[in-house]
Chain A
Amino acid sequence: MIGVSDEAVEVSEPVGRVLGTADATPLQFWTAVTPGSYLQLDDVVVTSRDLPDREPVKIAGVVTQVRARHEGAQFDSDVFAIAEGTLPALVQEAAEITTTRVDPELYVPPAPGAVVHRASGAARDAALHFDRMERRVPMGTGRDGVPVFLNADFLDGTRGAHVSISGISGVATKTSFATFLLYSVFRSGALGADGTNARALIFNVKGEDLLFLDHENTKLDDATTANYKLLGLPASAFPDVRVYAPPRAGDSSGAPDVNSRLTGVDSFYWTLEEFCANRLLPYVFADADDERQQYTMVVHSVTAHLARHAVAAEGGISIDGRRLGSYGDLVDHVVDQLTDDETRSTWAGSAVNMGTVNAFARRLIGSKRDLSRLIRGDLAARRPHQIKTAESAQVTVVDLHNLPDRAQRFVVGVTLKTEFDDKEKSGTGRPLLFVVLDELNKYAPREGSSPIKEVLLDIAERGRSLGVILIGAQQTASEVERRIVTNSAIRVVGRLDPAEASRPEYGFLPPAMRQRALLARPGTMFVNQPDIPVPLCVEFPFPAWATRKSESGPPPAGAMRSMVQGVDPFAVVGGRGGSSDDDIPF
């Protein structure tokens, strides 16, 4: 039965009847709307079909198209005669219903003439399959102002994982929806302890708008608070956030490079030793473009050589008897060694020709400017500088917005690889790690391959069992690796570009919804989840956290420990973990 029991089936007033001038099918039918009532897109309706010798079949669906026309008019100009009051005609509205649920599962068409009711309460929940969801994550309200839910089974890896969000940048509010979804997962309690223990890794690609997640929004009004309450969520900022930013370029102290957020920001970097020992060199060449070149071979042999021969030396490294104190030095040394006929074969192998080596050297030298602030030999190795979600706060924000493209790729690639490897080693799917990454089409393009794409594909295909959930956003899903998109159980679409909307990647949108996606307002998303055969139109509330400096409230107490860093500068460096006084380096 649809609904919990007969008593609980709340069907409100009849709104029309199934019409018989168009075919009624079990999956789609048209309803003529009773004069004086109305149906709008996304309304949920229910009708039933009596069958001989068994219980009636309840057919529930959502409105996917509505039309109104003059009946009795033959010519376009008849409308003037009708409006003037000389030609009798009837305005008749009709709504197309796409079936979402048939109960019991007997696929018979509704009979033309059958009364169609607007569904509310339990009947609405049943029509949208909410009653079958054991754990429901609120994701906003429908067009009717009633909460709409996401089945947590398809979010946490139980039956599916990963979210793919598409839409034009700026108006599609992809990042806002991703953060709201995270907030809902953390605060709704739908995931129980999993939700509370879950971690999130967010890459902030554009502007500094994700750096204020832990700041209250001063522009929050009562209506928005009420909206949050309706969804069963508190209206507040993220309670536990840690922000990482790259060191300021040219600053030897390694202070984080941020403009608007001044408190509670840690800088992240990698030491030269880590760079060599963890074999991070391939991520310098993380452009899909790079992979096509011949020098991939050189990259791998140089990486291996560095891992084998580099020795840690006071933050920097020592190799071939030379101490290298910066990324620039390392690059110069590697290039020197490669161009030298005597040493080339030990670094790059013997079968490599000069042209390939030169191509590699050119690229490597080019990377100096972009990466020298991230790969350091001059900062204390023991100072905390790594992004590790397990040791960080619930939400870890990595700020990339003022890094050049190559550096962004390096950070994303290395961070994801490290996190995924850690998860793999721990061998358990808990705690969950949500990774929010915008511009997925840049990191995992459909064509070519790159180390980052490999990591992302790994996450998309195996992350589900390891508890790594990718929330990827992109302007165009058609340009993202197909295996990543198809592995996403939940697909979300905001405002789309007209040319993009016609691509097969959006086949899950019915034609009318595809058209609507072209004019979706900010804050409106179409969410498709495996449970429900029709995407749901969702309006999610305005963020309760600040999205820019101007609307941010006072920083949370935790971030006030220092004006610059989240880490207390007066704490003994490396003094964590119960070290004794003997470890004091002075």
Chain B
Amino acid sequence: MTRMFVDAWDPAYGASFEGGDASDGPASPSSAQVDTDVEVPAAQWAPIDVAAGVRCPDVVFLVDGVRRNDAGLWTAEEDGQSYAGLAASYAAGVVRCDLRRGVAELAGARVGRGLFTASPSAGDVQAGSVRYEVHRVSGTGEASKLPAAVQAPLTALEIDISGEARNHGSDGADLLVVDGPLRNRRQLPRTIGYVKTQQKQYLPAQLARVVTALRPGQRTPVFALGTVWGGWSWYLRLPGGSGAPWSGIVRVECSPDLTPEEAIELAEVSGATLPRFASSAYKDPRAPQNLVPIAGLERRLRGLLGDARVLHRALTLATAHTR
């Protein structure tokens, strides 16, 4: 009989990998060029333990952002046309985990609010004490496309803030963990991208078996992804998974500008660092992939966004005055 496992993630978040069944992992195969011979030849792939000499850095920075749609709006233009608008709040923050001193603190956080619309006539909206800056969206600006537009300013905010956090209090040996793929944050030094959700099957089937064979704390060899946002990447299994083949698996990536040796070194460090941040199932609906500092940071950031009902009401009042 097939062994079964309940996914650790709360169903509302989807699954930690999309599609396929538990034995196959991510189903939709990627068209990306993958070079699996970077660390060891593909034929010799096997799970890699954390080497004895590798230490977790004293200071780890973790960056994350949160966003919330405060209200959907409609504009009434002079010519009788109407555009959709989205008032969103977003915040990015950095946690500085000083593991030697045992202090995790918010090293920086910034909140932004924007009104995303394609309307050519819309201006900033002052809702109570809060100002929603207008972000003009190109094209027709259907309501369904607006949420994606929030991502750009949020990512910009994350880059700003992680650069700032490192300017104060970096010891040169720290590690910056970015939640999600690196994308355009690859220029940051000593930075890894941390991908919780596996949507694409990058590895050929025989190598994917190495991934499912990982034990907690082990990683696969580094491989290179040839996509637009590609780079060096590897899989890692966090402790605390349910035991299902793909539970607790995360993909970590780093900038393609690094040499393979530098990438392997980062892979080693990540193997020593990330498992200790893994969350436990009863505390986090996305355990163990949602790291403890990230979860804490998200809670703080959501607090900084302000109360949704208050903002919604303020927006309603503010727009009522414009009529």
Seen from chain A, the residues whose Cβ lies within 8 Å of a Cβ on chain B are 72, 74-75, 77-78, 81-90
Contact = CB atoms under 8 A, between A and B. Distances in A.
Contacts of A84: 99, 102
Interface of B: 95, 97-106, 276-277, 283, 292-293, 295-297, 299-300
B140 to A, nearest CB: 41
A74 B104 CA distance: 16
Given A85-B97, A85-B103, A88-B300, 12 more contacts: A72-B296, A74-B299, A81-B104, A84-B99, A84-B102, A85-B102, A86-B97, A86-B277, A86-B293, A88-B104, A88-B296, A88-B297
Nearest to B99: A85
Given A72-B299, A72-B300, A85 B283 contact: no
Contacts of B295: 87
Nearest to B299: A72
A86 B101 contact: no
Nearest to A73: B296
Contacts of B105: 88
A128 B100 CA distance: 47
Contacts of A81: 104, 292
Most buried by B among A72, A78, A85: A85
Majority DSSP secondary structure for residues of A touching B: loop
10 contacts: A81-B104, A81-B292, A82-B104, A86-B104, A86-B293, A88-B95, A88-B105, A88-B296, A88-B297, A89-B104
Contacts of A77: 283
A83 B292 contact: no
Contact of B293 (A74, A83, A87, A90): A87
A381 B80 CA distance: 120
A457 B193 CA distance: 83
A83 B103 CA distance: 6
Contacts of A83: 102
A77 B265 CA distance: 33
A89 B104 CA distance: 7
A75 B296 CA distance: 12
Contacts of A82: 104
A160 to B, nearest CB: 50
B99 A87 contact: no
B102 A89 contact: no
Nearest to A82: B104
Nearest to B276: A86
A83 to B, nearest CB: 5
A89 B103 CA distance: 9
A386 to B, nearest CB: 75
Contacts of B293: 86-88
The 4 A-B residue pairs whose C-beta atoms are closest, nearest first, are A85-B102, A88-B104, A87-B296, A88-B296
A409 B104 CA distance: 68
A77 B105 CA distance: 18
B283 A75 contact: yes
B98 to A, nearest CB: 5
Contacts of B297: 88
A86 B95 CA distance: 9
A89 B101 CA distance: 14
Contacts of A78: 283
A83 B102 CA distance: 5
